[in-house]
Structure 1
Amino acid sequence: MHSTLTEHARCLYGDEYRPTPECSQQNKHSDAYFVEELTFAGADAILAMLHELSPRLFDGYLPIWIRNLSYRLLLLQRPDDPALMREAAASLLLHGPDWDDIATDLQRRADALDAD
């Protein structure tokens, strides 16, 4: 079994900066199992995965939908974190205009939190 969310993601999706590790669990890998693990992961584990596998928002092999889901889960756990809101907004802005309204709203909310 994988010891961390990052290790599981690296094994399943690969890593742009490190070789994909040998894994005895290859036959049990699936997006569904990973998403289940992600859903119940703590904010620190999710952030560690995002920052290690995509140190800059525009790189890494994590699928966009996994990245978006990760930021959504993070914001549910840390709803008043303006830095996290800005990071999530920047990620959304990189992937087409479909999410620009949500990104703009996140930036606006982060600015309002900073003003308080």
Structure 2
Amino acid sequence: MHNSLTEHARCLYGDEFGPVPACGCEHREHYFIEELTFADADSLLAMLRELCPNIVDGHLPVWVRNLAYRLVLLQRPDEPALMREAAQNLWLHGPDWDAVAAELTARADACDAEASRRRGG
């Protein structure tokens, strides 16, 4: 059994920055996707930031990164910094996702503008 989503991802996909633990678990992608699907935002972000700290690197497949960011944004829909982080990931792995990245950036800008308006600035 893996102790975290990050450890499970590391065992399945490898880690560009550290050793892959020998865990003895059966590594099937569908088990990982089940865990990913129901993970909380903190676990998803920990996995993304540990295994892909510079966004352009790491061994996580692009589709896993996209799904993880989508799940984070569903759990934290009003956080502009996360919207921009997800958009940056999409731009780096586009151009298929450029329109979605632009929409996320626009949503982040709108959230920031609304927060500024509420503060009176």
TM-score (norm 1): 0.97
1:21 aligns with 2:17: no
Which of 55, 79, 82 aligns to 2:80? It is 82
1:70 aligns with 2:68: yes
- Structure 2 SS opposite 1:56: coil
Q: CA deviation at 1:96?
A: 2.0
Which of 30, 40, 43 aligns to 1:42? It is 40
Q: CA deviation at 1:38?
A: 0.4
* Paired positions, count: 114
Query: Structure 1: where are the runs of 5+ without partners?
Result: none
Instruction: Give the aligned CA root-mean-square deviation in angstroms.
Output: 0.5
Letter in structure 1 aligned against 2:34: E
- What corresponds to 1:12 in structure 2? 12
Query: Structure 2: where are the runs of 5+ without partners?
Result: 115-121
Q: CA deviation at 1:23?
A: 1.5
Which of 94, 99, 113 aligns to 1:101? It is 99
Structure whose alpha-carbon radius of gyration is higher: 2
C-alpha distance in 1, partners of 2:105/2:46?
Answer: 22
Q: Deviations over 1:42-76 (max 9, x none)?
A: 00000000000000110100000000000000000
Which of 9, 25, 30 aligns to 1:32? It is 30
- What corresponds to 2:3 in structure 1? 3
- Structure 2 SS opposite 1:85: helix
Q: Percent same amino acid among aligned pairs?
A: 67
Runs of at least 4 residues off by over 4 Å: none
